[in-house]
Structure 1
């Protein structure tokens, strides 16, 4: 029996049925059937059961039968199916039915219309499984961990405490170690332009962030002080850092989505089960046109397999 055969399968959630999630999942598994060989599709019966039968993949149907979706036109009924798929995946991991989750892209707006109380899927899985989640991204060239994410920009300064930064750094070190780094090299983005320029352009680095990093350096000698966010990702591409910690959502995601839009993977760190997702949204505007790229979804499945099998 192989290691994969001895483990429960990965749960693959459909995302919003009107978005590109269902079609990129179908395209990915038609292209690379091996990646779907230890997976379970979770979504509407019309999608999950039919695709599962076509590809020989197990499926779990959620929501009412007879659901009709029109690509590119989201509805509350579709959001209810997306939410039901997430709930089945989360509960199934706790019950031992699945070993991890690869979640399709959802619409936060439409989920909120049907009672979803979380800023995003990261927070949903944190509550469902217990633990303090951290948002990370794995690409071919970049590995990025966010210190803060789904909060307004005006709140970042007060939210970015020494403890918050320390947690992000520790999660970055764990991610680097999972990918083979013996002594993780972690670059940390400053919050302000030029990392504060010694207090001229902001004092957070001088007063809070650098002192926190200095306290951690005896434990993590490859940890930087705060660096200018406009150059640190280029340094990572050149090999200076294994992982970069970004202060806030768009500071990290601007680099990730510019350089690795079709290959980067969202990884939720710090939880008892692995959860990954493609690094793109529902893309309602191109759903059903047959032009959505499945590369990020295939990468999300690959990373989930690696992290749950210890193959990184």
Structure 2
């Protein structure tokens, strides 16, 4: 029985593999792990042209404004598309800034559907940041744009937290896209406490983990060896963990990152919180490159994304793998349903 409220997928960068994997995900909608009903916010002509180029038989069902609810009914026989913005002009593998308005229009339309609850959750296909910057996009990426748009009038934007989730491992980097030399300066106990609170809250209300276990990596080798290999772990990480524990959050650390990701260690926590991007994304992508999902915590709506980029060299070639997008769609449906049902269910593991 299809859900009455579908998911919405933003088109993403036209020159990348976003159109390819959207078409392939629809074709695999009846796979062993079914893909939930979704509509694409973007350019139907782009999708039709990409389908022809790939030799894929994907009927499209353009939706009228305000008709998003029809997507769930149409999904079994056609891929629903909400036309928005100007046409996409970039060719596969050849990005250019002229397509940025199309990308932004798809994002805005998708966000409007989620904000008005005409879509249950938002899934975003990869965008090319360099292309968006050329067109004047003022945000570092999807996450900051969505946080700014989610802010209540007169209120600061919510603080988004990036999680990479897979059935094997869930990780959160406390700092994300900054130079490594900046990491020690940006790390504060306050940042880690705020991150831990957001992770614990969303793990309960969306992932169904009543009391999530958070393992905090140390910044330095061997978690600083009691301060002999750097003072940040004792001065920043340990006090943050103590503060979270005092609030009733099951936090541990600082723990040596080099022994935190083997199977026995992973059984002891629900989320690993790293101090910088590659510290936790390297193990996450090594263990689950094709079924990893980028989840944004801290927003007032569910947002997921494939855990990969635009892959320009293989766009339009038929070599794109839709597995991560399919996982992102399935997870978005699961999280939206869990939140609607009231959140935590005791004894359910985050990576179940």
8 A Cα contact 1:268 1:275, kept in partner: yes
Structure 2 stretches lacking a partner, 5+ long: 49-57, 62-74, 152-157, 342-347
Range with bigger deviation, 154-163 or 291-300: 154-163
Cα gap change, 1:234/1:48 in structure 2, threshold over 3 Å: closer, same or farther? Answer: same
Secondary structure in structure 2 of the residue aligned to 1:217: helix
1:280 to 308, 314, 331: 308
2:91 to 70, 92, 95: 70
8 A Cα contact 2:238 2:254, kept in partner: yes
Give the drift of 1:79.
Answer: 2.6
Range with bigger deviation, 150-159 or 99-108: 150-159
Q: Output the TM-score relative to the length of structure 1.
A: 0.91
Residue 51 of structure 2 corresponds to which residue in structure 1? Answer: none
8 A Cα contact 1:172 1:245, kept in partner: no
Q: Which runs of structure 2 are paired with 1:31-70 in the superposition (5 Å)?
A: 31-33=28-30, 38-48=37-47, 52-53=60-61, 55-65=77-87, 67-70=88-91
8 A Cα contact 1:147 1:245, kept in partner: yes
- Is residue 240 of structure 1 aligned with residue 268 of structure 2? yes
Cα gap change, 1:236/1:123 in structure 2, threshold over 3 Å: closer, same or farther? Answer: farther
Give the drift of 1:90.
Answer: 1.6
Structure 1 stretches lacking a partner, 5+ long: none
- Is residue 212 of structure 1 aligned with residue 254 of structure 2? no
- Is residue 113 of structure 1 aligned with residue 110 of structure 2? no
8 A Cα contact 2:86 2:101, kept in partner: no
Residue 161 of structure 1 corresponds to which residue in structure 2? Answer: 188
8 A Cα contact 1:3 1:309, kept in partner: no
- Is residue 29 of structure 1 aligned with residue 19 of structure 2? no
Taking the aligned partners of 1:180 and 1:274, their CA distance within structure 2 comes to 14
8 A Cα contact 1:36 1:57, kept in partner: no
Give the drift of 1:269.
Answer: 0.4
Q: Output the TM-score relative to the length of structure 2.
A: 0.81
Give the drift of 1:220.
Answer: 3.6
When the two chains are superposed, the root-mean-square deviation of aligned CA atoms in Å is: 2.2
Q: Which runs of structure 2 are paired with 1:144-293 in the superposition (5 Å)?
A: 144-177=171-204, 178-220=206-248, 222-234=250-262, 238-293=266-321
8 A Cα contact 2:36 2:330, kept in partner: no
- Is residue 94 of structure 1 aligned with residue 102 of structure 2? no
Taking the aligned partners of 1:158 and 1:60, their CA distance within structure 2 comes to 44
